[in-house]
Copies of this chain bind each other. A is one copy, B any other.
Amino acid sequence: MKQIKAEIIAIGDELLYGQIVDTNSHWISQELDLKGVKVVRKTTVGDNRGDILKAFAEADKRADLVLITGGLGPTQDDLTKPLLAEYFDCPIREVPEAVEAITAFFKRRGREMTPLNVLQGHLPSCCTYVPNEVGTAPGMWFERNDTYWMSMPGVPHEMKKLMRDFVLPKLDRIFELPVIFHKLIKTAGIGESWLSDMINDWENALPDHIRLAYLPSLGHVKLRLTGFGTNLEKIQAEVEQQIRLVLPRIEKYVYGFDGEKLETAIAKLLKNSGKTLALAESCSGGYVSHLITTVPGSSAYFQGSVVPYHNQFKEKILGVSSETLKNCGAVSEETVQEMAQGVRNLFDSDFGLSSSGIAGPDGGSEEKPVGTVWIAVSNRKETKTKKLQLTQDRMLNIQLTGVALLNLLRIFISKIEE
């Protein structure tokens, strides 16, 4: 079987000048890897005719598939479309279907369309028009000499939708791809090297055609098992057998598999048990409420939350006693206990979650330095607390508190012994 080679070309001065981080190329890499397509090169060029044409010609020589992002805006500095027309030697013509789609897009948004937007529906005559339902710049698909090309907008959610709806399914049809089966084990509350120590001998005993990768991210570690073969059912069964072997060792850290997130794992736990949740977020400032409400259908179990950013509101709205606040301080085990219980009462929920800490950069003391955070979870019978000692970075502290709070709730609901 031939190894399919892909190149990714990102276009835009703002990427070269470092004003925007190119997250697109990384995301595309991951998706192609999952399909068994090998990315052999990523190139970034500026809004410059010669550089873009040279990048096209170089990729053409090496790759079976060329994915291009950026340079499709309606303004003069956006060169991708005219240069693709030039490179493939075909004129730009109106595509009535594309103009209609753009018109409908503006109508749905209730916004006025400009002549420049109409021109976004004019495309090189040799490309296949690929509708972009979430933006104004259409996708363009080209084929020549056994090389396939796709041009997409640089706006990440538009690019992702075009990849998911059009490009990725298309790859299965035009290429003979190897059979690959991936499974992700999602963990929280444990570091990469600790996890590695716990499963080291299992990892070393894996057969050659099954590979393990550690993918750490903020507060989480994902374990990715990848099996290679010729028969999907067989390779899937083998990967799942390996997961059954390793799972008992790390079970209490595992919140889910594949696309599951901590907040969707909690959604499942709460829905299954018919229980409800309320939050009192001080140092996490609404971040955990945000995570929970990103899940479709969260109104079934999420009652609401309070962000009492000043002590008087911890007292007034949540009923934390003024003695506790005076004697123990806002960042204390006692305060988060009363907050978790208070918010449960206010929203009449089964579970209450709370956070209070010093996110930084200011507000730390010798006794309670920046990064000191208390969190609590409470039900009608008991309240559990945890102290975190995080970083100097405000944003990191908010995010790490979020993961810790959701994981505390997961462990509490699942009745896992720590």
Contact = CB atoms under 8 A, between A and B. Distances in A.
Given A109-B389, A213-B77, A19 B224 contact: yes
A181 interface: no
Interface in A4-59: 13-23, 25-33, 38-48, 51, 55, 58
A394 B294 contact: yes
Interface stretch (A229-237, A281-289, A319-327, A334-342): A281-289
Interface stretch (A123-131, A299-307, A407-415): A299-307
Contact of A17 (B33, B44, B136): B33
Contacts of A114: 193-194, 196-197
Contacts of A173: none
Interface in A350-404: 359-362, 389-391, 393-396, 398
Nearest to A28: B18
A75 B393 contact: no
A394 B33 CA distance: 28
A101 interface: no
A94 to B, nearest CB: 17
Interface size class of A (residues with CB under 8 A): 35 or more
B213 A14 contact: yes
A256 interface: no
Interface stretch (A79-87, A266-274, A308-316): A308-316
Chain A binding surface SS class: mixed
Contacts of A58: 58
A116 B41 CA distance: 29
Nearest to A118: B193
B197 A116 contact: yes
Contacts of A116: 193, 196-197
A305 B302 CA distance: 16
Interface in A162-210: 182, 184, 191-194, 196-197, 203
A148 interface: no
A306 B305 contact: yes
A54 to B, nearest CB: 9
A93 interface: no
A17 B39 contact: yes
A170 to B, nearest CB: 20
Given A20-B215, A42-B44, A304 B303 contact: no
Given A114-B194, A290-B290, A398-B290, A14 B304 contact: no
A13 to B, nearest CB: 6
A395 B43 contact: no
A108 interface: yes
Contact of A14 (B76, B215, B218): B215
5 contacts: A16-B33, A18-B29, A41-B45, A42-B43, A298-B309
Q: Which are the 9 A-B pairs with shortest beta-carbon distances?
A: A285-B293, A286-B289, A18-B29, A18-B30, A286-B286, A42-B44, A286-B290, A16-B39, A304-B309
Given A286-B286, A305-B306, A306-B307, 18 more contacts: A13-B213, A16-B40, A17-B182, A17-B226, A18-B26, A25-B44, A40-B48, A42-B42, A74-B196, A75-B192, A109-B390, A114-B193, A116-B193, A281-B289, A294-B395, A296-B360, A304-B310, A307-B307
